[in-house]
Structure 1
Amino acid sequence: MAFSGPPNRRSAGRRRRWAAALGVTALAVTVAGVPASPAAAQATASVAVDFPTHCVPPPIAGIPPIDGTTTAEITVDNAAPKVGDTVTVTYTVTKPAASNPVDLALPADIMTPSGKVALGGAQSGSVTVTGPKKNPPVPGKGEFPPFSMTGTFTVTAPGSITLSPGDYNIHTSYIMELDTPCTVTNPPAPVSQTIIATDDGGPVNERTITLSAASGKPGERVTVTGAEFTANADVTVAGWNGSGPTADTITAKANASGSFTFRPKINDPATVGIVAFEGASWDPAKGAGPAAYTLVGDVPPLTQQITSSVKAGTLSMTQAGDSVPLTSVDFGQGGAATGDLNAVTVKDFRGGPAGWSLTGRVTDFTGPGGKIDAGKLSWTPSCTTKAGSPSTCAAGSAGVVGNTGATLASAPDGAFTGGEFTAGAKVSLDVPAFTAPGAYAAVLTLTLT
């Protein structure tokens, strides 16, 4: 039916919007598809694709499987490789179909993804991809965040090779080890990336590795079997953190047929896969992997040894004063002139097994009328031990001091000795009755050994 008169502006606007929408749709089909003619045979830019997914939450969650939609995109580091080249593939899930199946919030960096990328067209098979243990915190029952996984494959045939998202698994390591596997409901998923391989007749990297297990506890060994490596070459098997090797490495020689069986110990918490390569560093052209491997269980704690030292001290003593006044006696009567020895503090800070002994000896007392014999001075010792001291002191016996000496205090030998002690004594000088009047003095010498 034809219309006369000027066109309706609203109708024209609608037609332009429909035309724009159809144009975008046509472009999307062209980008995602395989070129229709040799002239158009070129790699295509990657596109995000949606595909139905069946996810099975861990049994502990007590919820049924989730049938949802995953949005993902596949990218490569080389969209125009040659046969024999190694291509690095990145599988990015921008919107997982599954979510946190429990009410408990998940902390950061406890999720480890792994998956497969399906190959089609000139080359079939799949590429194993793994991702690092890295994620933002996830609230209880909240959506899982986006994540990326990487892997490599060797181009074995020329032509157009398609890459589609495949099954993936989300492993969480928090309180317990849990997996949420998600499978493509109607495989294969839509093509996300197409690359064009050419044949230059060069060598093809056919190196492969297989693992005895896909997971293990920190510190456990996993058997890694390799094939098609260079005969008698040095081969390093290493953990893989999603973008490069980790600290878990072991190097040995392949046998004469290019095969090997190594058993590395995996400890690094960053390990999400295992690779093997010839040479000093990772080179996809001379290596194989990554093969997915997940650490499960508690990561062993790190330890730091803290050291210090206690410096041994000395055996020492100090006294409260150097003069001891005694009471006076009367001429013609004589008797006991008494007083208190100045307190002596002994510090045994040696920290060994030896004890100590504090002895004293006195000279004769001299004065204007002659002398008073040293044997006339006697004492009654005392000793106290400061709380917390390893040793306990003992007071010497009461009796004559004299010029031959006597023990004021001591502490015995032992397995571990030391401490702080205070020694003293009541002293008494027996003054003869008719000693000439005047002041008499003697010197008491204390020796600590």
Structure 2
Amino acid sequence: MGSTPRRSPRRRWASLLGATALAVTAGGALACPAGAAGTNVDFATHCIPPAVAGIPPIDGTTTANVSVDNTSPKVGDTVTVTYTVVTAAAGNPTDLALPADIMTPTGKVTLGGAQTGAVTVAGPKKNTPVPGKGAFPSFSMTGTFTVTSPGAITLSPGDYNIHTSYILELDTPCTVITPPAPVSETVTATSGTPTNTRSISLSSASGNPGDSVTVSGSDFTPGATVTLAGRSGDTQTADTATATVNAQGTFSGALTVNEPTTTGIVAYEGSAWNADLGAGPATYVVNDTTPVPDGSQKLTATVKAGTLSMSQAGDAVALSAVDFGQGGAATGALRTVTVKDFRGGPAGWSLTGKVTDFTGPGAKIGAGKLSWTPVCVTEAGSPSTCAAGSAGIVGVSGATLASTPDGTLTGGEFTVDAGLSLDVPAFTPPGSYSGVLTLTLT
């Protein structure tokens, strides 16, 4: 078992600014990660091999970690969670080698601290070949949850299931022997004014066509009738059911899922989906049990999620010079920043900046003297559309350079620029003045 890695610090882009010359530097080869990486944890696991294997349950150790796309959300924000099983407690229980791309993992992440509950997660049908009696390869699963309470929220890896589709449809469920497992990640939520704190959880993150899944909800209107529905992307499927909310604002209902393209499940009050009166989608996958006809081959393609990153063109910017005794605006342009969002999830991004005071020969120019005028261009075909931040002072508190909103499916490529203007006082002593502008992508 490998040692537990240290949590990777958020990487940042730093820009060195000057009154007559503005040099952009970085604290390393810098591409901002999509989110904070969780810590690997070990926990005892009880796995039940498929009955066809003819072997008893396996008690072993799972090594896993949980990561998020935002460690500092506000109440009402949606957080994307990734559960990675580094080393599974179970492996291929048979002598038969398993080919590539026949494993579909699902699982749950346990919330604790300021907010409790479980997040259902699911992974793509993707794996390397597994030899007979060989160990299952590492795999990742993703899901989302809505923050409903301020404070520290802990995330621990929970039960998981490995479904294999080869010759037979088989499941290997693995449960945490002493739940909850150790905490792998913690997010600290701040207070907000959310209009909707409803949330749902599922009894399972996957099933065969026609299987029933239990949907549990909280913070709904007492006495309301809630519609449970399957979703394929942002389109509702024909699979629906209803449940009644009790006096405590909670409910539990069963939904039979038949549609093979289902990607999630929602619950809502009223006659149609309304984001202000509903919750979800909670991730759900329908196993593909369609038999392959004789003489045919089943072809499967997988779209692999990438990362959120940024790069900048060049590492030096020169602001115009100003005259002693007159002062005025030292102007220039920020080196172009390119943001690439290839995560393929529901989360948008935000690019912010803040600057220090400018220091020079026996004097300084305050950080509040630097202003910018942001511009953001979206590359054609991108699912998201970026918005430039407001023109104005950058300062030590910082300002938004550009951002994209959350959505059903986000991503794309974006080009961010900004006109810069440093207001130099009239009798600032002659010389070169510099400060540090830090850009942070989250």
Question: Per the shorter chain, which TM-score range?
Answer: 0.3 to 0.5
TM-score, with structure 2 as normaliser: 0.47
Greater RCO, 1 or 2 (C-alpha within 8 Å, sep 6+) = 2
* TM-score of the aligned structures, taking structure 1 as reference length: 0.47
Choose between structure 1 and 2: higher helix proportion: 1
- Quick check: which has more Rg, 1 or 2? 1
Higher strand share: 2
